[in-house]
Amino acid sequence: EVQLQASGGGLVQAGGSLRLSCAASGFTFDDRAIGWFRQAPGKERERVSCISSSDGSTYYADSVRDRFTISRDKTKNTVFLQMNSLKAEDTAVYYCATTLWDDVSCTVATIGGMYGYWGQGTQVTVSS
């Protein structure tokens, strides 16, 4: 079965860094786009970043652009989200997710409802 495991969250001061990991199994890793989402109490779920399958193109929300970097390690079936210059507003539960079907690009899969499989989430807390 499709499984995604998010890890790497924790407590960090503003301006610090964290690297989140998403370990994937149960599907052809290179054929699926993988996205990172975050949700905090009282706020709407937000797509933070995404990496496509075929050409490796990436997406970043305006709120994290130039601070976060998404990457894919094909030998380990793992996607990473490097988060630098963290702000208190980045505090949330972060989830990784993948689409239901192969060959769906990040440009097409723009909202959470288009992703069929989700990891359990990892808490990121940024203190000010």
Neighbours of 103 (CB within 10 A): 12
Q: Are 61 and 45 within 8 A, CB to CB?
A: no
pLDDT band at 53 (very low <50, low <70, confident <90, very high): confident
Q: What's the chain look like in SS3? A: CCEEEEECCEEEECCCCEEEEEEEECCCHHHCCEEEEEECCCCCCEEEEEECCCCCCEEECCCCCCCEEEEEECCCCEEEEEECCCCHHHCEEEEEEEECCCCCCCCCCCCHHHEEEECCCEEEEEEC
Q: How many residues can be counted in the chain?
A: 128
Distance CA 97, CA 119 (A): 6
Task: Name residue, tokens 């000010």.
Answer: 128
Q: Are 67 and 93 within 8 A, CB to CB?
A: no
pLDDT higher than threshold 90 for residue 54: no
- Give the rounded percent of residues in the chain with a pLDDT score beyond 70: 100
* Mean pLDDT of the 34-41 span: 96
pLDDT band at 89 (very low <50, low <70, confident <90, very high): very high
